[in-house]
């Protein structure tokens, strides 16, 4: 049978009895006035790393793109479909967000694949290998750090990937303009899906550090 998953219907009813009842006015107002999120988050599809959960966000607060391994491609307008680039353009030029956060996370299956491990092989399949190949140059460097464990290399590439994506954001001319004018801030973050530690990218050094009054 082909019926809509029961657990989703049950969850929907829980939402209606809980969050919707409590926030009904706010939700209706948001629908009428339109969304004005101040933050765009570019996150991974992983079922353990939902940005709304991590930041306890309410409806209307976060404009969220999710793709495998939270990658931002370089600005490359070529007349083709670019899902993530389109969303960035929509958020920056259409909604006028003030912050873009690229958020990586631990034990990322896409990153693991880029280091040639895990559930997915990059050279099988039609798309995942190509998608992750955006990280290939840095993945190769990280993979060759022979004295590090598999886990350390994985964490390293997860963070290197966030840094690369933040840098790619600056290749979008309108993003860069707004950053230089001080009207838009770019951020990197990394979330440990086990301990739930949040690490923030330092803008000067690129290092990931725990937020201060955490």
C-beta closer to its own copies: residue 88 or 169: 88
Which position among 37, 111, 158, 175 is part of the footprint of its own copies (CB under 8 A)?
37
Query: Is 177 one of the binding residues for its own copies (CB under 8 A)?
Result: no
Give yes or no for residue 94 binding its own copies (CB under 8 A).
Answer: yes
The answer to the question of residue 77 lying near its own copies (CB under 8 A) is: yes
Instruction: Assess 67 for contact with its own copies (CB under 8 A).
Output: yes
Q: Report if residue 180 touches its own copies, rule: CB under 8 A.
A: no
Which position among 111, 114, 115, 128 is part of the footprint of its own copies (CB under 8 A)?
Answer: 128
Q: Least distance from C-beta 31 to its own copies, angstroms?
A: 3
Using CB under 8 A, which residues numbered 1 to 20 contact its own copies? 2, 4-5, 7-9, 11-16, 18-20
Rounded to a whole number of angstroms, the minimum distance from the CB of residue 104 to its own copies is 14
Say whether residue 110 binds its own copies (CB under 8 A). Answer: yes
Report, in Å, the least distance between residue 192 CB and its own copies: 8
| Shortest reach from residue 45's CB to its own copies, in Å | 5
22 binds its own copies, rule: CB under 8 A? no
User: Could you tell me if 109 and 46 are in contact, meaning their C-beta atoms sit under 8 angstroms apart?
Assistant: yes
**Residue 86 near its own copies by CB under 8 A:** yes
Q: Residue from 22, 116, 136, 141 that binds its own copies (CB under 8 A)?
A: 141
6: its two tokens? 């029961």
Full DSSP string of the chain:
--PPPHHHHHHHHHHIIIIIHHHHHHHHHHHHH----SEEEEEE--TT--HHHHTTPPTTSEEEEEETT---PPP---SS--HHHHHHHIIIIII--SEEEEEEETT-HHHHHHTT-SS--TTSSSSHHHHHGGGHHHHHHHHT-TTS-HHHHHHHHHHHHHHHHHHHHTTSHHHHHHHHHTS-EEEEEEE-TTT--EEEE-TTT--EE--TT-
Q: Kindly tell me which residue out of 22, 93, 116, 171 binds its own copies, with binding defined by CB under 8 A.
A: 93
57 in contact with its own copies (CB under 8 A):
yes
Which residues 6+ apart lie within 8 Å of 6 measured at CB? none
């Amino acid at each position: 049978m082909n019926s809509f998953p029961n657990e989703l219907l049950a969850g929907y009813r829980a939402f209606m009895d809980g969050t919707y009842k409590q926030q009904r006015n706010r939700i209706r107002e948001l629908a009428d006035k339109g969304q004005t999120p101040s933050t765009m988050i570019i996150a991974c599809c992983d079922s353990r790393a939902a940005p709304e959960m991590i930041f306890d966000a309410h409806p209307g607060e976060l404009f969220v793109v999710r793709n495998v391994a939270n990658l931002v491609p370089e600005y490359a307008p070529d007349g083709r479909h670019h899902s993530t680039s389109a969303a960035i353009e929509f958020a920056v030029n259409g909604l006028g967000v003030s912050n873009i956060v690229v958020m990586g996370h631990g034990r990322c299956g896409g990153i693991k694949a880029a280091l040639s491990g895990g559930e997915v092989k990059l050279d099988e399949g039609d798309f995942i290998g190509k998608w992750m190949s955006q990280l290939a140059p840095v993945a190769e460097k990280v993979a060759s750090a022979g004295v590090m464990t598999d886990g350390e290399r994985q964490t390293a590439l997860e963070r290197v990937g966030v840094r690369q994506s933040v840098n790619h954001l600056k290749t979008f001319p309108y993003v860069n303009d707004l950053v230089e004018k001080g009207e838009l801030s770019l951020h990197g973050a990394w979330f440990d899906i086990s301990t739930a530690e949040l690490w923030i990218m330092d803008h000067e050094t690129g290092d990931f550090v725990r937020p201060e009054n955490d």
